[in-house]
Amino acid sequence: PFSIKVQAVQQACHHLWVRNSLPGNMQLQASRSMRASRVQAPHASRIHLRPVVRAAPVANAAAVEAKVDKVDWPALAKELDTKSPLEIMDKALEHFGQDIAIAFSGAEDVAIIEYAHLTGRPYRVFSLDTGRLNPETYQLFDAVEKHYGIHIEYTFPDAQECMELVRAKGMFSFYEDGHQECCRVRKVRPLRRQLGTLKAWITGQRKDQSPGTRMAVPVVEVDPVFEGVEGGPGSLIKYNPLSNMSSAEVWNFLRVMGVPTNKLHACGYISIGCEPCTRPVLPNQHEREGRWWWEDATAKECGLHSGNVKKDGSTEQRKADRDLWIDGSAVQTLDKAAAEKLAGGARDKDTLLVLYAPWCPFCQALEPNFEAVAKDLAGSHVTVAKFQADGDDKEWAKANLGLTTFPTIVMLPKAKSGFVKYASERRDPESLGMWVKTMAGTA
């Protein structure tokens, strides 16, 4: 029938695309897999490369250890930064064999499993079952196991720790005192135990997932938080093959490859975690705004990838090499007297104000975007200004300008008292400019 012929053409085009996207040393294997696929029943809805996963040969432990010790990981990260996720995945699996595993959360990071499968190398997958996941996530686990013919290594929290936490603080204590304690019991400690059996792990982290916290995500690094099987700092390597991909690119890959995905994605969920701490997001909301939405939007990490959060350090470390928005900047500097005057309602113009600390990495990341907004609004009815609100002025800024964390951005309306806080973590010039327009108009 005509429909079957069309399908055959589509499959052939798909195979050609996959084969040509592989590194040269994989294309022969891909071609063989494609020839074999032609004998499959014509009613198959999709045909992919599905290499047979065989047990990895036992390597000489001393040789592998010496091989790992000799690697200059920062240099390798720089080298691989321009490579495709498939090439990064292939290098990771080639290097570590059975001593590396993929961390699968049950969301769009299923893409890294697809990349692992396309390499044709053996691979391991583990998942953290916190006991609070959505039913759709459990369904995806099952679908992925069947789709790839693998067994996911499930890791669970300590039953005694969970029981003590719930008995002491109730089922939903995280709504009142933050999610870190619950995540520590249900996610971080189980992950630590799992990683303690490995030499390396692979995650689906991307830089664009949370601009406030995940901009420091190299494609490979020495894990700054967790330890591997050998113990001690530097004993675990972390790969992030999707680091430089955007959400749109990941989803295009998933659709093209026909990979099973979480049904919650079709309901408006983008970033998916535990059921009580995950909700769908609205159009143009950032994906991390659907996680722990009752908390500050700038640092939404459960602890699994906290090593990639650029920390502001202890009190003694809170120093900066320079101030932000310095000479020549379009952002005006307010001293304490000027800030007090604005806070009291003496305003002849609308004012977009950032409360910042020069040592804060989130403020440093904001600098070019806020500068762009200031230049765009130069000479308009809106003043763009900064006030350094750390040190002795911190408590005053909390009481009078709504400071919670750095940076805090507020709009001070003309000829009025009070302020409106910018609550989103989307701090790109377009989002900030659009918000200013909704608050202050165009004239």
> Known catalytic residues?
360, 363
- The dihedrals phi and psi of 333, each to the nearest 5 degrees, come to -100, 130
Residue 361 CA: distances (Å) to CA of 212, 259, 322, 384: 9, 37, 12, 20
What are 361's two structure tokens? Answer: 């990495």
Helix (H, G, I), strand (E, B) or coil at 353: strand
DSSP assignment letter at 34? H
Starting at the earlier edge strand, list the strands of the sheet with 420-421: 332-333, 382-388, 350-356, 408-412, 420-421
Mention every residue, 6+ apart, whose C-beta is less than 8 A from residue 377: 352, 384, 433, 436
Q: Give the CA dihedral 223, 229, 231, 234, nearest 10 degrees.
A: -30
Q: Residue 328: how many CB atoms within 10 A of its CB?
A: 6
Closest C-alpha to 430, from 248, 211, 153: 211
- The dihedrals phi and psi of 21, each to the nearest 5 degrees, come to -85, -10
Write the burial class of residue 251 (CB in 10 Å: 0-12 exposed, 13-18 middle, 19+ buried): middle
Write the burial class of residue 166 (CB in 10 Å: 0-12 exposed, 13-18 middle, 19+ buried): middle
Q: Residue 20: how many CB atoms within 10 A of its CB?
A: 9
Mention every residue, 6+ apart, whose C-beta is less than 8 A from residue 68: 95, 96, 199, 237
What are 151's two structure tokens? Answer: 């067994």
What are 406's two structure tokens? Answer: 């750095």
Answer for the pair 92, 200: CB distance below 8 angstroms, yes or no.
yes
Pairing mode of beta strands 237-239, 200-202? parallel
Answer for the pair 260, 144: CB distance below 8 angstroms, yes or no.
yes
